[in-house]
Structure 1
Amino acid sequence: MAQYESEFTQFMRDWMAAHPEQAAEQQAGRALWWDKAPRPLETIAHDAAARVAVKPYYYDIN
């Protein structure tokens, strides 16, 4: 039984086969936007200490 493969998936497979240099650019873009280094504990603690408490009723000005 053959699995369904969308036209877009077929297009992307053909595109990546015809343009192998795009794989490196794809990895660079992923590293830029998604692969983030873990934050130091000092930074996490500083951010937690600087957080301002939210009022129970947001629209209350008093």
Structure 2
Amino acid sequence: PLMSWSFALINLAVAVRVGLPLVGAAEIAVAGATLLWLAAFLIFVVIYAPILIRPRVDNRPG
């Protein structure tokens, strides 16, 4: 469920980045899209970093 929020934030970032410059707010669009993308990436890192850092279940190298 939390990754669904991450995907939604990415789509919202795209909408902000594309939509706001149409009304003349290009700087705000870039800043807003950046913050939304960073929030989505933070969710991704919080979920997947522990999975990628912990040892393998079968205790084999690699």
Using structure 2 for the length normalisation, give the TM-score: 0.33
Which is greater in Rg?
A: 1
Give the structure with the larger helix fraction.
2
Using structure 1 for the length normalisation, give the TM-score: 0.33
RCO higher in structure (CA 8 A, sep ≥6): 2
